[in-house]
Amino acid sequence: MAKDPARDIPPHPRREPRYPGPITAERLEEIFRDCVDYTVRPVVLGGGTGRGLTLCYLGGMVRMERVSDYLLKPLARDGSLAGCTPAQQMTRMEQGALYNLGVARRHSLDQVVSDLVAGWCVLLFPGESAVLSCFVGTEEKRSVSAPDNETVLKGARDGFVESVRTNTSIVRRHLKTAELRIQEQVVGRQSQTLVDLLYIEGLTNPHLVEQLAARLKEIDIDGVFSTGAIEEYIVPAAHTPFPLVQYTQRSDKFCAGLAQGRVGLFIDGIPLGYLAPAVLGNFLQAPQDKSSSWMLATVLTVLRYFCMLTTLILPALYVAMVTFHQEMIPTRLALSIIAAKENVPFRSGFEVIVLLLAFEILQEAGLRLPQSIGQTVSIIGGLVVGSAAVEAKIVSPAVLIVVAIAGIAGYTMPSQELGGALRIWRFVLVLLSIWAGLFGVILGAAALIIHLAGLESFGVPYLTPFAVGTGLHAREHVFLRRPMPEIKLRPSALKPRNRRKQR
């Protein structure tokens, strides 16, 4: 009998509660055993001679000055607390006997353990089943600076950082509206990562918010340490290289997406903001389009679409014309290509594939090497490899020019993820052109359009507004960026509760 491999996979432990038992100092010491940073300190109340309190915290996660000034100092000075019962002491501290701003009463061991790991300290009272948690975290974070991976010409320079609470404060500074809602969930059994969901109530489609919140709630993994741990669980289609959610490090771009009716996402520890839904047109727009004149923005948008077609089709079209359809090439150009290929031993399709692979290898090497030498290696590698290959008669100059033009055209994409998807399909189209010439290119292009037409991002067709009739006002997001005073409505494909954006 065949053995079922699924039976060999052990089930995921789903214990609720995660840490059973009462909240005691002994139980906490058992949970944090062999942890050198776990600290227990007895606290005697001011003027008291009886049994005191127990303070627990993790060293390095709390700021010692806050513990001393906000907790230990008032406890040592307030002599009236010593004559109260533990229940009365807890109530008075919760109501203001402590100088700390964040004080919460906890009744479960799971909450207490999560607080300690998050930078809170815990006060245990003798004979009481509940404890007091006080936030005294270090809040160490990278300072807010300009985005690293997105060029800012005319716009805000306060890029997102790894702290989710700092990122929400940046959004609050840009969107000073009381309708901004921030929901929070904890994802990851081991990492306990905070994930915040942002939207504008009364504007964003509530079904979209519920859909994204439900998908976040369904995630049951051990840890969230990379963007893929969230992206690949919330997108509705995983079998595509094209991105279905948009990420950005720019605060103005993120806030503009929220004001448009989209839903934002912050992941603690990742300096990016996510926007959903995302369609193809969103990845071909740059934040500078709204800062430039409408004529310049329109020309640049048309140029990006042209470059997208160029990086996709140009290598495959060259292989098809040179190999199968020489009659499409002008006579002088055909004679020049023949003269250049006279001593080249390989076919045009093989030359294009080899150069495209070399181009990808050089690009990957430039990304993985340290920044100080990565660009130098890419430039020198491209010049040396290209020139040496032409001089050695391994590839023809025409192929080198075609691949270089296609590669440079791909760099005009504002989204690196979209550029990566286009590079994958570029290889597919070249292979089809080697097999069937121009008919193979047309077949591959049709397959690409069918693939894109079948994608949806949270219920919004990926080719919006090309694939569906969304009205005249949605055309502002395609080629023509009309003057700002004439853009009266938000895109109808997002189904916002309020489409009107200005008078």
Q: Look at residue 336 and give its three-state secondary structure.
A: helix
In this structure, how many other beta carbons lie within 10 angstroms of the beta carbon of residue 194? 19
Interior/surface letters 91-128, b for 16+ CB within 10 angstroms, e for the rest: eebeeebbebeebeebebbebbbbbbeebbbbbbbeeb
Contact yes or no for 235/247 (Cβ under 8 A): no
With a pLDDT cut of 90, the percent of the chain lying above it is 28
Residue 248 exposure: Cα atoms within 13 Å on the Cβ side: 26
User: What contacts 24+ positions apart, CB below 8 Å, involve 110-113?
Assistant: 110/17, 110/18, 110/19, 112/23, 112/28, 113/18, 113/19, 113/28, 113/31
Residue 224 in tokens: 């969230």
Mean pLDDT for 315-324 is 91
Task: Find how far residue 407's CA is from the centre of its chain.
Answer: 25
Mean pLDDT for 272-296 is 86
CA distance 231 to 245: 7
Among residues 357, 371, 463, the alpha carbon closest in space to that of 407 is found at 357
Q: What is the pLDDT of residue 470?
A: 47
Residue 364 dihedral angles phi and psi, to the nearest 5°: -65, -40
108-130: per-residue pLDDT in tens? 998 999 899 988 999 999 888 89
Residue 326 has pLDDT above 60, yes or no: yes
Interior/surface letters 6-25, b for 16+ CB within 10 angstroms, e for the rest: eeeeeeeeeeeeebeeebee
Residue 481 has pLDDT above 90, yes or no: no
As a whole number, the mean pLDDT across the chain is 84
Mean pLDDT for 317-325 is 90
Residue 476 has pLDDT above 90, yes or no: no
pLDDT band at 144 (very low <50, low <70, confident <90, very high): confident
- Three-state SS string over 123-135 comes to EECCCCCCEEEEE
With a pLDDT cut of 70, the percent of the chain lying above it is 90
192-208: per-residue pLDDT in tens? 889 999 999 989 999 99
Residue 373 in tokens: 């030498």
Beta bridge partners, 39, equal 57
pLDDT band at 3 (very low <50, low <70, confident <90, very high): low
Mean pLDDT for 446-453 is 93
Residue 151 in tokens: 């060029």
43-92: per-residue pLDDT in tens? 888 766 556 789 999 998 898 888 888 888 888 887 777 778 888 888 88
Q: What is the pLDDT of residue 468?
A: 61
222-258: per-residue pLDDT in tens? 888 888 888 888 886 568 889 999 999 998 889 989 9
Residue 88 in tokens: 């009365």
Mean pLDDT for 180-191 is 89
358-408: per-residue pLDDT in tens? 888 888 877 777 766 666 666 666 666 777 777 777 788 888 889 889 988
Q: What is the pLDDT of residue 76?
A: 84
Q: What is the pTM of this model?
A: 0.84
